[in-house]
Chain A
């Protein structure tokens, strides 16, 4: 990939710097926590708020870097074929279109296929997810002056930043899966082999990378996950303090997360039918997502009776269970086989 190598270099160097700054800021935020817990006062609170803002800004800068890198890929990775191969491929595609309800579009020689990659591919999804959380946490932090709630938000942000920097750094090896996938395209190939590689890449480009559902289904779920994390902090604070304000804060985030989650899951349904056919139903990821949605719906139903005896603890516990279900659902894609594995 001769055209991309300089972009990859810039991406890795700048990204590495951002990751370093993120680590330092997260460490400083972690240091603030015991001071806040021991002696809640204005100075550590102010420092914590400042550091949370810095982390959010760094995550936003990282996202801008991702957008730039994807623009470079759009400019430089083009699946262009010579005229005679294009005619051949269109003959195949037209024949396939007659037999299938979902078919690939014909190859256009004037506008060859390019990758319009979404910003939540592979490890980049953590950047998007944690940025969404950082922004939501910042607003929640400002809105509710409750020590335990604020500390929890900070602890969760520190954990997420550490995970991003140390476990799933998107800048260290940029899009390894994608670059490995398109690698053969840039090697010298005989015409028929090029045709073969094209037919491997083109369906993935159409139904996965460039699918418009890719711009709705995953980000809505990550926004839901981010909201659920703030909701979790609210539920723990509500059980810890017994204060109505914490419950109201938790419920506010539950509502918005539920909308994102429901819409995200619904929009995944027609996409799965289009990309995988009917064979994905009861896939482990689908089953776990269904389980999470049901637990969440149970919370919302149970909350209608919040004022009843025992229901405060039950509802708070269900909120924590929702968060655990979310963690289980997300990590399930790494341990359970299925269509979603590793995504």
Chain B
């Protein structure tokens, strides 16, 4: 077994990005207190929110790119994976130059959501995809959680479209919740049920 495989490195990169986002959150808290933003006019508060969003954007983009590496890994062999990542990066760059970074981020999110939906369908149909975790239910749950997270991020772009925004929010919440429960508990429950059935068969044979 290789000492450091690419999955392990991806996890480490994800951990580092998450740590940096945590630091940004704490920084935001102290800035909010220091700048006494609680009682300012809404325009200043909105400017603060925009500033924090723009600070978060590169980390979110990095997280999406690691997710962008994770998701197609399930679908494509290595050679095609690299081609896909380059293509995604180029279209993202093109979208950024043509429409701006916000739209580029939305574009990458839409692609990620579509890919994650495909992964979820394939995982549900029992296809053998490359996953870090073993077992049908783990794969299904993990796919659902990641689809939910991508949809949740996408939802922030739709805040001004009230009806669509709430529908996407509830879909993302359901995906995250159901996915988490399945990932954590379904495999064990199925094992227990199978074990019970096996022991029942054994008892019947005896």
Q: Which residues on A are within 8 Å of B, measured CB to CB?
A: 101, 255, 258-259, 262-263, 266-267, 269-270, 278-279, 281-284, 287-288, 290-291, 294-295, 297-298, 301-302, 304-305, 308, 325, 332, 335-338, 341
- Extra inter-chain contacts (18) besides given A255-B185, A258-B184, A294-B25, CB under 8 Å: A255-B184, A262-B176, A269-B169, A281-B49, A287-B25, A287-B26, A290-B21, A291-B26, A294-B18, A297-B18, A298-B19, A301-B14, A304-B132, A305-B11, A335-B33, A336-B33, A337-B32, A338-B38
Interface of chain A: mostly helix, strand, loop or mixed: helix
Q: Which of B11, B39, B42, B133 interacts with A302 by CB under 8 Å?
A: B11
A308 with B18, Cβ < 8 A, contacts A258-B180, A336-B33 known:
no
Query: Across the interface, do B173 and A338 meet the contact criterion of CB distance under 8 Å?
Result: no
Cβ-defined contact, A298 with B15, below 8 A: yes
* Docked-complex contact B22 and A295, CB < 8 angstroms: yes
For A263, the chain B residues whose CB sits under 8 A away are: 173, 177
What interface size band does chain B fall in?
35 or more
CB of B136 within 8 Å of the partner chain: no
Given A279-B46, A295-B22, A337-B38; A266-B15 close (CB under 8 Å): no
**Out of A267, A269, A288, A302, which one reaches B25, CB within 8 Å?**
A288
Q: Residue of A at shortest CB range from B166?
A: A270
Q: Which positions in B face A, CB cutoff 8 Å?
A: 8, 11, 14-15, 18-19, 21-22, 25-26, 28-29, 32-33, 36-39, 42, 45-46, 48-49, 52-53, 132-133, 159, 162, 166, 169, 173, 176-177, 180-181, 184-185
CA gap between A279 and B38 in the complex, in Å: 10
The residues of A that contact B162 with a CB separation of less than 8 Å are 101
A332 partner residues in chain B, CB cutoff 8 A: 29
Q: Are B11 and A262 in contact (CB under 8 A)?
A: no
B25→A262 contact, CB < 8 A = no
